[in-house]
Amino acid sequence: MPGLRRIGRVATNPPNTPLYRRLARQLQERIDAGAYPAGARLPSEPELSAEFGVNRLTVRQAVAELERAAVVEIRRGVGTFVRPPAVRVSITVDPRSQRFDLGSVHAALPGADDRGDDDRGDDRGGDDRGDGEFVVGAPPVAGSAEDEEAARQLGRPVAELSRVDTVIRLGGRARAACSYWVPFGPLPAELVRPGRPGNLVLDLARAAGVELEYDWRAFGAIGADLADAELLGVPAGTPLLVREGVSCTPDGAPALYVRRRIDGSSARFVLHFREPRPDAPQPFVP
């Protein structure tokens, strides 16, 4: 209780800042100040509850905010730990090239989290199922919002579309959930057999007997819905990077709508606008 009175004095606090938010800020301040360094365990919930004189549920609300903000990681039965700065795969892209990132999501994971930018490395932590893309299933194309969007993008009624969902696994974890729509069907049963490995973009192009090139791609951010949350093994609402777009045949006919949801803490896409610089110029100073 006495410790919390002080929190209320923080100038940026609105008048009725709830207790759990003040607590969250206090914990954040301790982390920023190094009182709980990266990797350290926070006091347990009962300990924090006793220290601040608040109910354990209030403590949990505060810690939950920090977890959603990716400040701490909660490990059930073990404790709550300060997260080290995020290390994400950088998927490099030449924005002037037609070939964008085919297969680039299969890039290696960060090995030891080095300081520099080298995303080189060992495949730490691979498990039973290997890395790669695996079919989850071929759900019926009903009237869901995504199905409607796909129909709009492909210029065909929903009833004429086929869909296949996959998951991309890297380093023993599901990293991306993918959905593909094509303006024909049905797809070969073997192609959409759950568990089947493959590169679905290539597989679908082969099934159709055409070459595909990019029409457009878009980036957005959404929270994981209940289905994606289960597929990716993350809590609902986890920030996902959405990369969607249309590929077309060489003559410009739309042939594929793809929508990938990638765990935001795992990857980012980098677009280079200049040729690589071998000499690394000094930073500009006026």
The only residue of 35, 123, 230, 233 in contact with a copy of itself, by rule CB under 8 A: 230
According to the binding rule CB under 8 A, does residue 277 interact with a copy of itself? yes
The only residue of 85, 140, 186, 195 in contact with a copy of itself, by rule CB under 8 A: 85
Distance CA 121, CA 251 (A): 40
Query: In sequence order, what are the beta bridge partners of 79?
Result: 75
* DSSP state letter for 224: -
What is the footprint of a copy of itself within residues 168-227 (CB under 8 A)?
183-184, 207-210, 213-226
Stretch of 74-82, 113-121, 126-134, 272-280 lying at the interface with DNA (CB under 7 A): 74-82
The only residue of 5, 76, 96, 274 in contact with DNA, by rule CB under 7 A: 76
Stretch of 41-49, 93-101, 175-183, 241-249 lying at the interface with DNA (CB under 7 A): 41-49
Q: Which is nearer to DNA, 82 or 91 (CB)?
A: 82
**Residue 177 Cβ vs DNA, minimum distance, rounded to whole Å:** 21
Query: In sequence order, what are the beta bridge partners of 245?
Result: 217, 258
The sign of the CA dihedral 247, 210, 136, 169 is negative
Contact predicate 22/66, CB 8 Å: no
Q: Which is nearer to a copy of itself, 48 or 205 (CB)?
A: 205
Distances in Å between the Cα of 141 and the Cα atoms of 147, 165, 166, 167, 261 are 6, 11, 15, 18, 19
- Interaction site with DNA (CB under 7 A): 16, 18-21, 42, 44-47, 53-58, 60-61, 74-80
